[in-house]
Amino acid sequence: MLIDGKQISKNIMEELSSEIKTITSKLGRAPYLSIILIGNNPASEVYVREKLKACKYVGIFGNLTRFDSSASEEEIESDIKKKNDNKDVDGILLQLPLPDHLDSEKLIEFIDPNKDVDGLTTENIGLLVSGNPRFVPATPLGIIELINRMGVELKGRNVVIVGRSKIVGRPLSIIMSGKGANSNATVTLCHSWTSNLIDFTSQADVLIVSTGSANTINGSMIKKGAIVIDVGINKIEDQTKKSGYRLVGDVDFDSAKTKASMITPVPGGVGPMTIAMLMKNVSLSTQL
């Protein structure tokens, strides 16, 4: 069965629209998301545009502050602090990656943890580990929401996560092995140093793949009946397409779907969920 992230995210966006109407009439203003974009990385331009479009759709005021790619750390710091102090700004998002001369970890720490809708400040990561999450990064949150809405129960199941990034695999492993709602799974976190990856993936009831490489996983590595969540999105050459390429995930979809009981497509799986969950975090930020 296909896990239709596009449709599920649409449902969430509808729910959010109505939630945000209520918040707006209560606050006397729309929730305010401030996005900071430094330079003009083409992928970042696309993501920012999509985020602003989603804001508009659900009734969030999305504001974009642009800096030249040569902007100094002090300029960004001062802009973030101004937004921290501005009571009308609910959420602040620093679009990553940053130009090489800027230290993203350092700059993220300047964001008020109560406005950190990406959930990347040390305080918010610490709260996640402590079992008192405030903002959870949008991609893990989206994956959990997909799993919830598909009626999958994680308690006691064998979950294998491939990829240990700070924004996907690591937080997901912490949440799913924790004691929160729909968690309590036995979680194995695999990564580039894992030997015999197939030994782990072939035992997984739920397999989540976020490596950033096409074909990390194929059908032969998947247990019959497993639930497969593909977080990747990779451009590969395809001369049959007008654009000259097509988008694929980290999982070889055609061989995997013959084994999986449920699987996310790419595109249209985790991707649209991420933006919807960012909107959910902005909605939450109005309450802090």
Catalytic positions: 51, 95, 118
Q: Is 103 in the site for a copy of itself (CB under 8 A)?
A: no
3-state secondary structure of 221: helix
Q: How many Å separate Cα 119 from the centre of its chain?
A: 10
**Among 63, 84, 165, 186, which residue interacts with a copy of itself (rule: CB under 8 A)?**
186
Q: Please, which residue, 201 or 285, has the CB nearer to a copy of itself?
A: 201
The yes or no reply on residue 87 touching a copy of itself (CB under 8 A) is: no
CA distances from 201 to 94, 130, 142, 146, 179 (A): 34, 28, 21, 20, 23
Contact stretch for a copy of itself (CB under 8 A) within 88-96, 191-199, 256-264, 275-283: 191-199
Q: Which residue of 95, 114, 188, 274 would you call a contact of a copy of itself, by CB under 8 A?
A: 188
Backbone angles phi, psi at 8, to 5 degrees: -65, -40
From candidates 11, 22, 78, 122, binder to a copy of itself by CB under 8 A:
122
Give SS3 for 281.
helix
Q: Decide if residue 126 touches a copy of itself (CB under 8 A).
A: yes
Question: Can you tell me which residue has the tokens 């997909």?
Answer: 146
Contact 161, 210 (CB under 8 A): yes
Residue 139 near residue 168, CB atoms below 8 Å? yes
Indicate whether 104 belongs to the interface with a copy of itself (CB under 8 A): no
Give the separation between CA 16 and CA 213, rounded to whole angstroms. Answer: 33
| Contact with a copy of itself (CB under 8 A) among 203, 213, 220, 258 | 203
CB of 199 to a copy of itself, least distance (A): 7
Shortest spacing between CB 285 and a copy of itself, in angstroms: 18
Taking CB under 8 A as the binding criterion, the range among 36-44, 142-150, 163-171, 244-252 that sits at the site for a copy of itself is: 163-171
The residues, ordered by sequence, that sit 6+ positions from 136 with a Cβ below 8 Å of its Cβ are 119, 128, 144, 171, 175, 281
Amino acid at 74: E
Note whether 141 binds a copy of itself by CB under 8 A. Answer: no
Binding site for a copy of itself (CB under 8 A): 105, 121-130, 132, 155-158, 164, 166, 170, 173-174, 177-178, 184-191, 193-195, 199-200, 203
